[in-house]
Amino acid sequence: MASVSVRIVGANGDGVESSGALLIKVATRNGLNVFGYRGYQSIIRGGHVWYQIRISDSKLYSHGEGIDILIALNQDSITYQKSHLNPNAIVIYDPSKIKVDELDATKFRLVKLPMLDIAIEVSGDPIMRNTVAIGAALKFIGIDISVFNEVIKSMFGRKGEKVVESNIKAASRGYDSEGVSMVFNIKGDGKQRYALDGNTALSIGAYASGCKFYAAYPMTPASSILHWFAAHENKGVMPKQTEDEIAAINMTIGAASAGARAMCGTSGGGFSLMVEGLGLAGMLETPIVVVESQRTGPSTGLPTKTEQADLLFVMHASQGEFPRIVVAPRSIEESFKIASEAFNLADRYQCPVLIMMDLYLSEHIESIDGFDFDSITIDRGKIVTQKTDEGRFKRYLITEDGISPRSFPGARGLEFIAGSDEHNEYGDLISDAFAGIDSSIEIRNKMHEKRMRKMDTMLKNESIFVPHIENENADYFLVTFGSTTIPAREAVEILKSKGLNFGIISFNYILPLDKEKTKAMLHGKRMINVEANFTGQLAKVIMMNTGIEIKESILKYDGEAFTGESIASEALKIVKK
């Protein structure tokens, strides 16, 4: 596999993200694979931000550890990124703005490029300096400039011919500048790919499965889900930016009660506010989907950094007990698939489904071949549209599988009471005054047992509540959930090159968990737990359900994402103990 890592570095407001997006588009149009990830601060302008784009002729599983090409847009780019430079890394900088005295010219290829002067000359716009630098990077990578020209026409055509021509000229000047030559020569396979992040994939999957309502109060890293739905408001969906997360989940419950497939989203702090509403959905047995995209905590923590420390919180959120499904997608493709499946599960079992993303999965950009829309099916569960017997409708009918018939407002004769208190089969709220103490206790027990039977029904009917194993005959296994599975796959390949036979045991559907099948799968295996939190929360879930203790862990809680190299390095240390 041939690959190159390009890191564009500057400050908020320097166009770092748009430059990275442009490079990604050009690479994917050229038949290459990409993996992009950005580091940024919670400020509008200034600070230190970077965008790393890894480009390869093969599938990628992380943004990579070091830098092969550094595009430095300010002095801090050199100061803060010099330790990340690979041997012989190329450093593209503007000598009128940046000094590179602290870099050893014998170890790196320092490329003077008067980006600002060229930008002013060809367009009069200083921001065009980024385009000059991208042009130079394309030459170093070995990508034909004609591909860039086509991307510019498609991206900026609506802004007029002058803007298009200025970008093309700026990139060409960088491409043909002195000291710029092809170094990596990475060839694509000619297949154009899509490049998108996990939140976009999730949004598309939800929309394709019939989601008609999405509510949220903006909170990184879930905000771009709201952006996607707002951009597609004219496609038959209703996005709602609410005053807070309490309103978001309650509106979602209302929309779902009216018959719409409804979803809300937030991060950990916002989910804390949603917790009481989550319990309401559990009591009403209303099918909703909640996205919880994790970032570091507690409180606001590091608002723009990644973590996986909300697992136990989400699994046990809200007072009391009620059925729920907790799922953590392991890739961009699975974000699409799980979003579409979540609505079927919510409808089928009339309970909340919680999708656990994290900043790394929500925001990193990856090239994919596409989605299988033909695989999407829609199952609305036990919906009753016409009354078939005399008497009041028993919305909460006690059944063997725990799932009661459900109706939508407006269906004659199928009206019912939906209250947050415990109730009988009709929805009437029970109390000592209503039916007497003994009767009230009996109803409570029967209704609670009915709801909880859904968990057994799920395990009986579905085959998804078990971990996945890759390389079953491996000597060691990395145990992961959610996004850590992506770099773990790269780690396995790195360890293989060192003569070690590693596999992966990964969890996506975490609650409920088939205890017996999971225990049988894990029994006797040498495992290393890999999680982005301090306490090893997945390992605790495994211990609680199977009695199996995973004694070795690779834990990361500094807000930065795992890479294949970092996991492989730590796993190697553990194996050599």
pLDDT (tens digit, 9 = 90+) per residue, 9-45? 999 888 999 999 999 999 999 999 999 999 998 877 8
Q: What is the pLDDT of residue 434?
A: 54
The answer to whether residue 4 scores a pLDDT higher than 70 is yes
230 and 344 together in one domain: yes
Looking from the CA of 352 toward its CB, the CA atoms found within 13 Å total 33
pLDDT tens for 273-307 read 999 999 999 999 999 999 999 999 999 999 999 99
Domain ends where: 142, 173, 191? 191
249 and 294 together in one domain: yes
Report the chain's mean pLDDT, rounded to a whole number.
95
How many contiguous H segments (helices) and E segments (strands) does the chain have? Answer: 19, 20
Domain ends where: 148, 170, 191? 191
Poorest-pLDDT segment among 145-149, 330-334, 458-462, 542-546 = 145-149
Instruction: Please report whether residue 48 resides in a domain.
Output: yes
**Could you write out the DSSP letters of every residue in 419-466?**
-SS-B-TT-PBP-HHHH-HHHHHHHHHHHHHHHHHHHHHHHHH-S-SS
167 and 232 together in one domain: no
Q: Hey, which residues does 423 pair with through a beta bridge?
A: 429
pLDDT tens for 50-107 read 999 999 999 999 999 899 999 999 999 999 999 999 999 999 999 999 999 999 999 9
39 and 186 together in one domain: yes
Number of folded domains that form the chain? 3
- CATH number of 184's domain: 3.40.920.10
Instruction: Please report whether residue 554 resides in a domain.
Output: yes
The answer to whether residue 232 scores a pLDDT higher than 80 is yes
Instruction: Please report whether residue 220 resides in a domain.
Output: yes
CB 522 within 8 A of CB 542: yes
215 and 104 together in one domain: no
156 and 95 together in one domain: yes
Tokens of 238: 């209703």
Q: What's the domain range around 305?
A: 196-375
Instruction: Please report whether residue 145 resides in a domain.
Output: yes
109 and 214 together in one domain: no
- Per-residue pLDDT, averaged over 204-232, amounts to 97
- Per-residue pLDDT, averaged over 374-393, amounts to 91
The answer to whether residue 437 scores a pLDDT higher than 60 is no
| Distant-in-sequence, close-in-space partners of 441: CB < 8 Å, separation ≥ 6 | none
275 and 180 together in one domain: no
The answer to whether residue 432 scores a pLDDT higher than 60 is no
Q: Which of the four pLDDT bands, split at 50, 70 and 90, describes residue 1?
A: confident
In 350-418, where does DSSP find H-type helix? Answer: 359-363
Residue 18 to residues 61, 130, 464, 507: CA-CA distances in angstroms? 22, 9, 39, 34
Q: Which of the four pLDDT bands, split at 50, 70 and 90, describes residue 479?
A: very high
208 and 76 together in one domain: no
Cα 371 to Cα 261: distance, rounded to the nearest angstrom: 21
- Per-residue pLDDT, averaged over 133-145, amounts to 96
Instruction: Please report whether residue 410 resides in a domain.
Output: no
Q: What is the pLDDT of residue 438?
A: 60
Residue 209 to residues 201, 263, 327: CA-CA distances in angstroms? 12, 12, 17
Q: What is the pLDDT of residue 154?
A: 86
The answer to whether residue 371 scores a pLDDT higher than 90 is yes
Q: Which of the four pLDDT bands, split at 50, 70 and 90, describes residue 389?
A: confident
Opening angle at CA 350, ends 347 and 354, nearest 5: 85
| Three state DSSP letters for 454-494 | HHHHHHHHCCCCCCEEECCCCCEEEEEEHHHHHHHHHHHHH
pLDDT tens for 241-255 read 999 999 999 999 999
Q: What is the pLDDT of residue 440?
A: 82
501 and 516 together in one domain: yes
- CATH number of 333's domain: 3.40.50.970
Q: Which of the four pLDDT bands, split at 50, 70 and 90, describes residue 470?
A: very high
109 and 233 together in one domain: no
Instruction: Please report whether residue 363 resides in a domain.
Output: yes
Tokens of 312: 């136990």
